[in-house]
Amino acid sequence: QQQVKQSPQSLIVQKGGISIINCAYENTAFDYFPWYQQFPGKGPALLIAIRPDVSEKKEGRFTISFNKSAKQFSLHIMDSQPGDSATYFCAAIETGTASKLTFGTGTRLQVTL
């Protein structure tokens, strides 16, 4: 059972463009939603995270938008750069009762010159 659905599977964006990755979840007990960035051969690294009582969070060029009623959240990368080329995973966790992260299937982003 896929509890966190992520799309698209892959994304090609020109340098300077906006990259948008979408996720949807089913479990309403999830209360923390991190995004991870993974480069080839490396482990995932936390990029940015949001709680459902906030509709948007921005850190530099990275913004999370959160729609609690639709159970959807998305990552926007503004002014995308070739160095942003990586695989991005959304995730969700129930902080009160469990500590395991439930990951989406990942989006492979390629930023072209």
Partner 1 sequence: NAGVMQNPRHLVRRRGQEARLRCSPMKGHSHVYWYRQLPEEGLKFMVYLQKENIIDESGMPKERFSAEFPKEGPSILRIQQVVRGDSAAYFCASSPRGKSSYNEQFFGPGTRLTVL
Binding interface with partner 1 (CB under 8 A): 6, 32, 34, 36, 41-46, 89, 93, 95-106
Q: Which is nearer to partner 1, 17 or 27 (CB)?
A: 27
Say which residues have a Cβ less than 8 Å from residue 26's Cβ, sequence separation at least 6.
3, 4, 71
- CB-hemisphere CA count at 13 Å for 17? 14
Q: How far is the CB of 78 from partner 1 (least distance, A)?
A: 24
* In contact, 90 and 109? CB cutoff 8 Å: no
CB of 106 to partner 1, least distance (A): 5
Cβ nearer to partner 1, comparing 18 with 46: 46
